[in-house]
Amino acid sequence: MAETSFDVIVIGGGPGGYVAAIRAAQLGMKTAVVEREHLGGICLNWGCIPTKALLRCSEISHLLKHLGDYGFSAKDVSFDLKKIVERSRKVANQLSSGVAFLMKKNKIAVFDGSATLAGKGKVKVGGKTIADLTAKHIIIATGARARTLPGLEPDGKLVWTYKEAMVPPMMPKSILVVGSGAIGIEFASFYRNLGCDVTVVEVLDRILPVEDEEISAFARKSFEKQGMKIHTSATVKALKKNANDVAATVEAQGKSFEIKAERVILAIGIVGNVENIGLEGTKVKVEKTHIVVDQWCATGEPGLYAIGDVIGPPWLAHKAMHEGVLCVEHIAGLNTAHPLNVKNVPGCTYCMPQVASVGMTEKAAKAAGYQVKIGHFPYIGNGKAIALGEPEGMIKTVFDGKTGELLGAHMIGAEVTELIQGYAIAKTCESTEQELMETIFPHPTLSEMMHEAVLEAYGRALHI
Are the beta carbons of 141 and 308 closer than 8 angstroms?
yes
Are the beta carbons of 309 and 297 closer than 8 angstroms?
no
Residues of the chain with pLDDT under 70: 1
Active site residue 443: yes
Nearest to 27 by CA among 19, 16, 17: 19
**pLDDT tens digits, residue range 205-228?**
999 999 999 999 999 999 999 999
Tell me what pLDDT residue 43 has.
80
Are the beta carbons of 34 and 125 closer than 8 angstroms?
yes
Residues of the chain with pLDDT > 70: what percent? 100
Q: What is the pTM of this model?
A: 0.95
282 Cβ neighbours under 8 A, 6+ residues apart: 117, 299, 300, 301, 304
Q: What is the DSSP letter of 266?
A: E
Are the beta carbons of 313 and 270 closer than 8 angstroms?
no
Are the beta carbons of 181 and 286 closer than 8 angstroms?
no
**pLDDT tens digits, residue range 8-44?**
999 999 999 999 999 999 999 999 999 998 899 888 8
Domains observed in the chain: 5-146+271-342 (3.50.50.60), 159-268 (3.50.50.60), 353-457 (3.30.390.30)
Tell me what pLDDT residue 422 has.
98
Residue 282 φ then ψ, to 5°: -100, 175
Show the CA angle centred on residue 144, arms to residues 241 and 83, nearest 5°.
60
Tell me what pLDDT residue 281 has.
86
Residue 302: what residue type?
Answer: P
- Cα 89 from Cα 152, distance rounded (Å): 27
Q: Give the 3-state DSSP-derived string for 361-389, with helices as H, strands as E and coil as C.
A: CHHHHHHCCCCEEEEEEEHHHCHHHHHHC
Nearest to 346 by CA among 220, 190, 211: 211
Q: 168: cis peptide before it, omega within 30°?
A: no
196 Cβ neighbours under 8 A, 6+ residues apart: 171, 172, 173, 174, 175
- Which residue among 66, 290, 443, 451 is the active-site one? 443
